[in-house]
A = this chain, B = another copy of it.
């Protein structure tokens, strides 16, 4: 059964919820999920509403237009998705392939509503893994000299595959603003620290040096400022003086896998609203 998912943000005022739920109900839709949130600091209203299209009297292609008057009345930022649309996802990876493997296995298990037609890496070592899952693999090495040119190739590959979500699965290269502009709030990165602590390079080594008692991982949308994008999910695990740097890396890998896959799941289920460099998560 197909459903529609509408994500809304707008200035808060009376009547938004009633108007939106009426729009669904008056047209024969059955609400399967509705959640809202009001940020009282900025007086902003957020809503996620999902309804069955089974007896809905507006055809999917017309919903956007028919909703437009309401959207204008309340100055809404809104996004409409359909459950029967399967987004196409690309994974960027590098030498370390634990996150890549984890994503592919979860996908195989049915945890993600998407297809994964493309893996891009600056190293050759994941070619075999991609192949074993029947996924096209592109190796594109990056140097300071060829970065701009290589990114253009990457964007072309992504556009060619109609990619709607890019996952940076321990891809250790910084993307330029040019690249990012093509995929606003469509690139999810995993950073192997509890941001904002230990941004940048070698977060485990930084954590080890500082002597923290807990390490973390953070998944976030990528923005032009390194490691500063809207945080989607974080988790932490205890360590002790007994843990060597290698132990931190081992324990961190489990965090990275879980935190990245949770962000991907939430994104694909259209449960994330980005606002003011933060996320509202309707899970």
Binding site for B on A (CB under 8 A): 13-19, 21-22, 24-26, 28-41, 98, 101, 105, 109, 111, 132, 194-198, 210-214, 216, 230-236, 238, 240-242, 244-245, 250, 253-254, 258, 276-281, 283
Contacts and interface: CB of A to CB of B under 8 A. Distances in A.
Contacts of A241: 37, 39, 278-281
A197 to B, nearest CB: 4
A240 B282 CA distance: 10
Given A101-B105, A198-B196, A236-B236, A14 B36 contact: no
Given A16-B31, A194-B197, 18 more contacts: A18-B22, A19-B25, A32-B38, A33-B38, A34-B36, A39-B241, A41-B244, A101-B105, A132-B132, A196-B210, A196-B212, A211-B276, A213-B231, A213-B233, A214-B234, A214-B236, A240-B281, A241-B279
B236 A212 contact: no
Q: In the assembly, how many copies of this chain are there?
A: 4
Given A195-B212, A241-B279, A17 B36 contact: no
A131 B38 CA distance: 41
Contacts of A233: 213
Given A212-B195, A214-B234, A35 B33 contact: no
A17 B37 contact: no
A279 B38 contact: no
Contacts of A40: 244
B258 A254 contact: yes
A153 to B, nearest CB: 30
A238 B238 CA distance: 10
Nearest to A105: B101
Given A98-B105, A258-B254, A211 B231 contact: yes
A15 B209 CA distance: 28
A255 to B, nearest CB: 10
Contacts of A213: 231-234
Contacts of A254: 258
A230 to B, nearest CB: 6
Contacts of A25: 14-15, 17-19
